[in-house]
Amino acid sequence: MPNKLLRSPQNISSSGSTSAVQSAQLTITLDNAAAPEYTIIKPSIGTATVVFEYAELCRDYLNLTFNGSYPSSINALKIDLEIKFFDGVNGTGSLVNTYTPPSQYGYDGYGVFVEGSSPTIPASETCISNYTQASGGVKTYTIYTPSSYAGKIPLLNSTGTAMLYESYSTSGDSHTLSNGDVINIIRYGCSRFGNGLQVFFVNKYGAIQQEWFTLKNIESIRSTSEKYNRNIIDASGSYDINTHTRQEFNVKATQEYVLNSDFMPEYYNQVYTEMMLSEQIWVRIQTFYTNSYITTPVNIKTKTLLYKTSVNDRLVQFTFSFDLSADYINNIR
């Protein structure tokens, strides 16, 4: 079953069976709906090949949310496509022939240019890029986590219809996934900065991945406002010297976090590239007023990543800046 990455264009093509064909109609049905969500019609001349792009339309129906607790699995978006060819324009006239490919399953991931068009991921794939790759394509996976912390590893199920999240425990230096891949686990003790902050993001496979930033982190807040000059003269021609003349209004504030990774292997250039290109990122922080840990959405401010190597930089370490997604002052109406 094709497992499609819907942040990149996905194409479907077919051709009419006779020279009488004048138009083609694509219907897109999602998650076994009773009727198609979309119907697209375009000209199609005879037996020439017609191509439709459908990923952007399907992606509107993806709704990936995260509150800090992983589910055991998240179902893919089921996509059923059908192309019908007609001997009249704009889908009119008689039906000539029909093309119905197998059901497809969509994820909120993407391919890169060198991977070619209509990128997919195979069933049972381990969906993280924390690996080195030997000749022949053999991957060696290694993740980094604080001591005594458990976590989750995403992978596709054997049919490609769902993203699984398999647990690794608080101890041990490796974990074997249900697909047979071995995940090496390097655990490090806390530093003077504690265990650090945990960041979650949707990676290129459309899976929620977790990473730790364990060195120095900086929290700040910045504000913006507008001002106007008030008329503070009263009816008698006097004024109160305790009243603001230049009055501020529309005061807003945004919290910012600057996070630093530990010293990592070179393949983390790719991991952090996926984080920087993610459209959904969360960080787990402790709030002052509630004195509790929450997983809150953030927007990444860092827009350039300088790839580091042990040859050029000796120690490979990264710094990223994030803004909390919501304003500091609650203004949700």
pLDDT in tens, 84-106: 999 999 999 999 999 999 999 99
- pLDDT of 191 above 80: no
- Predicted pLDDT of residue 83: 98
Question: Which pLDDT score, from 0 to 100, does residue 1 have?
Answer: 58
Q: What is the pLDDT of residue 140?
A: 95
Q: Which residue has the higher pLDDT, 40 or 134?
A: 40
Residues 230-270: tens digit of each pLDDT:
999 999 999 999 999 999 999 999 999 999 999 999 999 99
pTM value > 0.85: yes
- Mean pLDDT value across the chain: 94
Amino acid code (one letter) for 12: I
Please determine, for residue 137, whether its predicted confidence score (pLDDT) is greater than 90.
no
Query: What is residue 310's predicted lDDT score, i.e. its pLDDT?
Result: 85
Q: How far apart are CA 300 and CA 302, in angstroms?
A: 6
Average the pLDDT over 210-215 and give the result.
94
Instruction: Report in angstroms the alpha-carbon separations of 54 from 4, 40, 98, 108, 159.
Output: 11, 10, 18, 14, 22
- pLDDT grade, residue 313 (50/70/90)? confident
CB burial of 143-152 (b: ≥16 within 10 Å; e: otherwise) equals: bbbbeebebb
Reply yes or no on whether the pLDDT at 183 is more than 90: yes
- Scanning the chain, the segments in alpha helix (DSSP H) are 55-59, 268-276, 310-313
| Spatial CA neighbour of 184 closest among 127, 131, 261, 128 | 131
Pairing of strands 293-300, 319-324: antiparallel
pLDDT of 193 over the 80 cut: no
pLDDT tens per residue across span 107-124: 999 999 999 999 999 999
Task: Look at residue 319 and tell me whether its pLDDT is greater than 80.
Answer: yes
| Predicted local distance difference test score (pLDDT) of residue 105 | 97
CATH 1.10.3470 at 3-115, yes or no: no
DSSP state of 191: B
Please give the Cα distance from 209 to 143 (Å, whole number): 11
Report the share of the chain in percent with pLDDT over 90: 89
Q: What region, left, alpha or beta, does residue 135 occupy, with left being phi > 0 and alpha being psi -120 to 50 degrees?
A: beta
Strand pairing report for 139-146 and 182-188: parallel
b vs e for 101-125, b when ≥16 Cβ sit within 10 Å of the residue's Cβ?
A: eeebbbbbbbbeeeeeebbbbebbb
Two tokens at 120?
């997919």
User: Hey, where are the domains in the chain?
Assistant: 3-115, 131-219+252-324
**What one-character-per-residue DSSP string does 245-310 give?**
SEEEEEEEEEEEEEEE--S--TTHHHHHHHHHT-S-EEEEEE-TTT-SEEEEEEEE---------H
CA-CA distances (angstroms) from residue 12 to 2, 31, 133, 170, 211? 12, 18, 32, 45, 36
Q: Which of 118, 80, 96, 79 is nearest to 24 (CA)?
A: 96
Confidence of residue 203 (pLDDT cuts 50, 70, 90): very high
